[in-house]
Amino acid sequence: MSLHTTGTPKKSEKKKFNLRLFLLSALVFVIIFTIYRVCIENEKIIIMWIYLILASCLFIAIFILNRGMSSTQITADMLPDEWGDEKKAAYLDSDKRRRRIAKYLIIPLIPLLFVFIYEIFELFYLDKILELLSGIAGK
């Protein structure tokens, strides 16, 4: 049995939209963005570095907890035959626990990435777009 083909989820299965998770992510984004903008307005530029380090640490933690970026669901028959049933069960339980922790670590990571995307947009493109719009409106 190949590890890459046996436990992969089927493409036809659609995951249900998790409204609670979306709203929690939106709330975290509002909090993170508000703190960021208040600090930038008060010229506390260190917040940018704090957010960058935090996002990097979260990404590394998620990467480790997910054992890379594997979406393969490991089953008991994929584990070595010399492992006992208790060891297989413990490994599968730890895998579920690690994925659940990683899922909750993504909640602050995605808003942090959106804050960086907004900041890049504001730094490099907002003035050009406003200049373009004012040129169109002035004609």
- Domain positions in the chain are 21-138
**How confident is the model over 35-50, as pLDDT tens digits?**
999 998 888 888 889 9
**What residues have CB less than 8 Å from 116, skipping those under 6 apart?**
51, 52, 55
d(CA 98, CA 37): 33
**How confident is the model over 56-97, as pLDDT tens digits?**
999 999 999 887 777 777 788 888 888 888 888 888 888 889
For tokens 């169109």, what's the residue? 136
